């Protein structure tokens, strides 16, 4: 957690510290303070999760969560199947949108996802759960 948020040499820095995610000052210097605020890891299947993915590692915004809980709390899982279809249509029409509205960054901001995610959806990449939901809705 600390290295991802503080060390540009860390492989995951761009997804954490590079996005402005910080670690509570107390936790930077005291493991005991972290344990007092968060508690010990309940089981080996749990890991630390930020409730608000755009928020910092701080009291009130972290919890111990299982992998399945964390997968539902990712920046890239904010869209349901309908959202994916809307995003893909905006991506296809991005060059015809007025006032720069079709820039990938603007589309990403509108949907609350990353530019990489917008480009992937635009290219037809999507997760299997989105495919299943699209088939269910069809």
For 66-114, where are the alpha helices, taking DSSP H only?
A: 67-71, 81-92, 104-111
pLDDT at position 121? 80
Q: Name, of 18-32, 45-59, 90-104, 115-129, the range with top average pLDDT.
A: 18-32
Q: Name, of 17-21, 83-87, 134-138, the range with top average pLDDT.
A: 17-21
Say what percent of the chain tops pLDDT 90.
33
Nearest C-alpha neighbor of 59 from the set 18, 20, 25: 25
Distance separating alpha carbons of residues 133 and 138, to the nearest angstrom:
9
Q: What is the pLDDT of residues 78-119, one digit of tens each?
A: 566 777 778 888 888 887 777 666 678 887 777 777 787 778
| DSSP assignment letter at 78 | -
pLDDT at position 37? 94
* Residues pairing with 49 in the sheet: 63
Compare 121 and 33 and report the one with higher pLDDT: 33
pLDDT at position 28? 95
pLDDT at position 78? 56
**Does the pLDDT value for residue 137 go beyond 60?**
no
Average pLDDT, stretch 50-57?
86
């Amino acid at each position: 957690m600390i290295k991802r948020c503080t060390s540009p040499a860390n492989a995951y820095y761009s997804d954490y510290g590079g996005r402005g995610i910080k670690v509570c000052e107390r936790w930077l210097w005291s493991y005991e303070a972290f344990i007092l605020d968060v508690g010990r890891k309940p089981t080996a299947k749990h890991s630390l999760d930020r409730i608000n993915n755009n928020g910092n590692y701080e009291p009130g915004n972290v919890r111990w969560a299982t992998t399945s809980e964390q997968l539902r709390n990712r920046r890239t899982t904010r869209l349901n199947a309908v959202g994916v279809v809307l995003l893909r249509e905006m991506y296809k029409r991005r060059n015809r949108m007025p006032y720069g509205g079709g820039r990938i960054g603007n589309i990403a901001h509108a949907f609350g996802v990353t530019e990489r995610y917008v480009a992937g959806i635009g290219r037809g990449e999507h997760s299997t759960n989105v495919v299943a939901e699209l088939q269910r809705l069809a």
